[in-house]
């Protein structure tokens, strides 16, 4: 519950930042920005899953092709009380997985060939249960809305920088020699996208902890996912997903760029060690 409240709070802060930047352009600019955001939302809502799957050349597999995987997904979906999602395979040595889709009726679980080869059945159950929790909690939709607002904030902030630089914003202040007003606008325009990024990452991290907890309950044993994460941490370092798009990294169960982040602060995932620790503490 605490993580859910944190998510809603951060989304509210993100929206407030958006409104503050839009206010510099007046009512007309704000309306234009909102229309732009709604268009982005529409495309993301209905087509984001297809775009991501195509990006990684994922292929849907039928039950007669992989009855083993379909059995696991069907069993766990029944426990999670959600419709059985479609299963897609990504031909990659990188052991990883993600879920996508706007709701539980249009959901997909995508698995790499690497993760299927690396994990045993119980560990695979832990991973799939984690992804089913994301579907059940509508995490993909939340991530899409956040990304849309953050993208609009970045766009407006950059535009604000240019306008302030050329004196198009608050010209009266400039004529009066009040450079502090323009400086404040520039500083806000620079810091707002950074704040948006940090909020996005915080939301992503909190949802990962919730998905780990839910996955542990659905699979029936927290150690299934904990053991899987240990293997995945090693596997991703050995076979990083070189063709991964940074914009989609938060979808994967482990960061596809694991071990290559400049700062932990800017990782889309919580530290794997902390995730494993929390899962192990669930059995105490």
Q: Please spell the DSSP secondary structure of 118-178, one letter per residue.
A: HS-HHHHHHHHHHHHHHHHTTHHHHHHHHHHHHHHHHHHHHHHHHHHHTT-S-HHHHHTT-
- Annotated catalytic residue: which of 66, 75, 131, 274? 131
HSE-CB at 215 with a 13 A cutoff on CA atoms is 34
Other Cβ atoms closer than 10 A to 224: 26
Nearest to 123 by CA among 251, 241, 231, 277: 231
| Residue 131 is among the residues annotated as catalytic for this protein | yes
- In 1-147, the DSSP E strands lie at 59-60, 86-90, 97-100, 108-112
Judge contact between 8 and 142, C-beta under 8 A.
Answer: no
Task: Indicate which residues carry an active-site annotation.
Answer: 131
């Amino acid at each position: 519950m605490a993580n859910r409240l944190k998510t809603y709070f951060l989304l509210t802060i993100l929206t407030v930042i958006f409104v503050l930047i839009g206010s510099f352009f007046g009512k007309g600019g704000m309306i234009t920005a909102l229309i732009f955001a709604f268009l982005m939302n529409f495309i993301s809502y209905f087509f984001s899953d297809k775009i991501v799957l195509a990006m990684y050349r994922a292929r849907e597999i039928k039950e007669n092709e992989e009855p083993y995987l379909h059995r696991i997904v069907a069993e766990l979906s029944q426990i999670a009380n959600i419709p059985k999602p479609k299963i897609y395979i990504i031909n990659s040595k990188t052991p990883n997985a993600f879920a996508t889709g706007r709701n539980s009726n249009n959901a997909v679980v995508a698995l790499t060939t690497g993760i299927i080869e690396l994990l045993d059945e119980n560990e695979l159950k832990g991973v799939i249960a984690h992804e089913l929790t994301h579907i059940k909690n509508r995490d993909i939709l939340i991530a899409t809305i956040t990304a849309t607002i953050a993208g609009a904030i970045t766009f407006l902030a950059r535009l604000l920088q240019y306008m302030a630089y050329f004196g198009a914003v608050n010209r009266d202040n400039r004529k009066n020699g009040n450079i502090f007003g323009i400086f404040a606008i520039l500083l806000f325009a620079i810091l707002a996208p950074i704040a948006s990024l940090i909020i996005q990452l915080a939301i992503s991290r909190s949802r990962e902890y919730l998905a780990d907890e839910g996955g542990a309950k659905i699979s029936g044993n927290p150690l299934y996912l904990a053991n899987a994460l240990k293997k995945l941490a090693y596997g991703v370092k050995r076979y990083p997903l070189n063709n991964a798009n940074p914009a989609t990294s938060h979808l994967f169960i482990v960061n596809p760029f694991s071990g290559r982040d400049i700062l932990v602060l800017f990782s889309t995932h919580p530290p794997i060690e902390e995730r494993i620790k929390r899962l192990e503490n669930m059995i105490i």
